[in-house]
Structure formats: C-alpha cells, structure tokens
Amino acid sequence: MVLSAAREPLELRELPMPKAGPGQVVLRVRACGVCRTDLHVVDGELPRPKLPLVPGHQIVAETEDGRRLGVPWLGWTDGTCRYCRSGRENLCDAARFTGYDLDGGYAEYAVADERFCFPIPEGYPDEQAAPLLCAGLIGYRSLRLAGDGERLGLYGFGAAAHIVAQVARHERRRLFGFVRSGDEDARSFALDLGCEWAGWSDEQPPEELDAAIVFAPVGALVPAALRALAKGGTVVCAGIHMSDIPSFPYELLWEERVVRSVANLTRRDGEEFLALAPRVPVRTHVETYPLEQANEALARLRSGGVRGAAVLQL
C-alpha cells in the first residue's frame, strides 16, 4: 500500500521485489501495526517523508531462513554522531526511520537492516506482537522517562496506553486514565486495564499525580496534565506530533514540575521491553485488517474508534 502524496489515500500497487543491500535482510511480512505516526505521515503533519512511501513501522516478519523478526521505527543510525556515541541513538543526526525515510511494512515484503531488528518473543501470535514494536516500545521509553512515581496519569487511551497500563500495573503503580470527554467506551477500556479512576481529560483526578504521559496529540492536554501534578512531577509528551500547547501560568510549572518529550527509541529500549513484555505478561488487544484495507484501518484510528491497536495481517 503506497502513499504517493500527503492527504491522498494509499494505493494498492504491485512493486518490484525489494533487494537486500549490505547488512539488510529480506523479510516476508506477516503483520504490521498501524500507528498514529502513520496517520501523521499520511495526513501531511510530518515534514519530509520519502515519497512514494510504503508506510508501517511495527513489522513482524519472517526471514528467508525462517526466523521471526520485528522491525521498529528506528531503521538506521550512523553510529558516529555525538548522540550515537553517548547512548542516545534515538536522537541520531542522520537517523533513518522505517515507514518514513525507508519503505515499511504495509507490504508483502520488506527489507531492513538486521542490526536494528529484534527477535519477537515466543508466545505472541504475529498480530499480537506487532503493537509491541512501537506502541509498546515508545510507551516503555515514556514510562522510564516519567520516573518512578507511584501515581501515574495516562492521557489518551490508545495502543500505547493500553500496553503501558499493563507494565505500570506490573510495577505496582497506581493508574489514572484520561480520555476524550464523553467517550464512555474509552473510559471503560481504561478501567478494564487497571486504572483505579478514569475520567475526562479536562477533569482533575481524585488525587495529585507523580507523573503523567500524554499520548493524545493534543497540546491543550499539557497544561491540563500539569494542573494534575504533585510538586516535582513530570509530564511526558509521547507523540511525534502535537497541536500547539496553549500558554499557561508559570505557577503550573513552578515547584520543579517538568515537561518533556520522548523521541524515537534506542535498540536498548527494544531489548529491555521485549524481554519484559512476556514477563508482565503484556497482552495486546488488536483489531486486524487485510493489507488492502489499510486506508480503512487509518480512518478508524483517525476517528478514535480503535480499542487497543489496529494491525494489518498478511
């Protein structure tokens, strides 16, 4: 499924079989998760995708010699810039991202640099494993950057929050879920996933939070989340794109509150999270679509209708 221009539907096209370059493997795609980032690419909200592009960066695939590998968003780094040399390859100056700079997994076949692929833990069917590769990984990195506080707020209960909630409960944290005002389905989903309280995103939780992770791409949630924080608390913005953050009084940031973002992932995040996921165990809730219905899957994600994660199944 190919994106030729932003804000156009993806087209089903026959492409030449991809060939592996140095260090790459050819992969037969078995499942590919549909991420909000894909939606930002298709909707023209990110500045410079390769075009034409095969989107998709949560690929579960099989190598020619029968191994099952996962391909994440971080597809290549130079290994030499100041970020790579200081354990921050997620910030690499020359990074290439799967389904953005490189063709991704909305396809029957893909190629990937094997150094950036992960073995998929056993016990996960392909479609259940796919959301671990971005929703899970970025969620995990966000949770680490949120600190060790006990009371955690999650704003936006999509694919990433539904995984993070399980990890956070495993770490015996207390969870508070915030969903779009009036979205009773999302509220009940948040409660099912272990939130002790779930309410609308403009509401105050019953007690102060030590940290909050904002998954929804809505800038107005940043001051809302700050308002819910205890002293010294952190708001983590987990998305790659967000609408503008409205101005807010300094008082909301005072007392050592922190606002920060999370960008991309490192391979270490992937190794840690994929080792942790089966121990929790993280169970993903997925809606599957055939490859040729990628546009329908994206539309459903855009409308907020997906419970858990949408996955293309091949």
Residues within the interface to Zn ion (CB under 5 A): 35, 37, 77-78, 81, 84, 92, 134
In angstroms, rounded to a whole number, what is the distance separating the alpha carbons of residues 217 and 214?
A: 8
Residue 229 pairs with which residues in a beta bridge? 209
- For Zn ion, the closer CB: 35 or 211: 35
- For Zn ion, the closer CB: 77 or 201: 77
- For Zn ion, the closer CB: 37 or 266: 37
Q: What is the closest distance, in whole angstroms, from the C-beta atom of residue 73 to Zn ion in the complex?
A: 5
Q: What is the closest distance, in whole angstroms, from the C-beta atom of residue 15 to Zn ion in the complex?
A: 22
For the chain, strand residue ranges (E) read 24-34, 59-63, 68-71, 74-76, 96-97, 109-113, 118-119, 151-155, 174-179, 197-200, 209-214, 229-237, 258-261, 286-290, 309-313
Q: What is the closest distance, in whole angstroms, from the C-beta atom of residue 310 to Zn ion in the complex?
A: 12
Q: How far is residue 1 from each of residues 6, 15, 126, 184, measured CA to CA in Å?
A: 14, 10, 19, 33
Q: What is the closest distance, in whole angstroms, from the C-beta atom of residue 262 to Zn ion in the complex?
A: 12
Tokens of 219: 């800038």
Tell me which residue of 211, 127, 193, 130 sits closest to 157, measured CA to CA: 193
- For Zn ion, the closer CB: 166 or 264: 264
- For Zn ion, the closer CB: 135 or 212: 135
HSE, CB side, 13 Å, CA atoms: give it for residue 2.
11
**CA Rg, the chain, in Å?**
19
The answer to whether the CB of 233 falls within 8 A of the CB of 210 is yes
Q: What is the closest distance, in whole angstroms, from the C-beta atom of residue 124 to Zn ion in the complex?
A: 18
Q: What is the closest distance, in whole angstroms, from the C-beta atom of residue 139 to Zn ion in the complex?
A: 10
- For Zn ion, the closer CB: 253 or 263: 263
In angstroms, rounded to a whole number, what is the distance separating the alpha carbons of residues 280 and 131?
A: 15
Tell me which residue of 104, 120, 112, 109 sits closest to 37, measured CA to CA: 104
Q: What is the closest distance, in whole angstroms, from the C-beta atom of residue 154 to Zn ion in the complex?
A: 17
Tokens of 65: 């010699």
In angstroms, rounded to a whole number, what is the distance separating the alpha carbons of residues 15 and 262?
A: 34
- For Zn ion, the closer CB: 209 or 214: 214
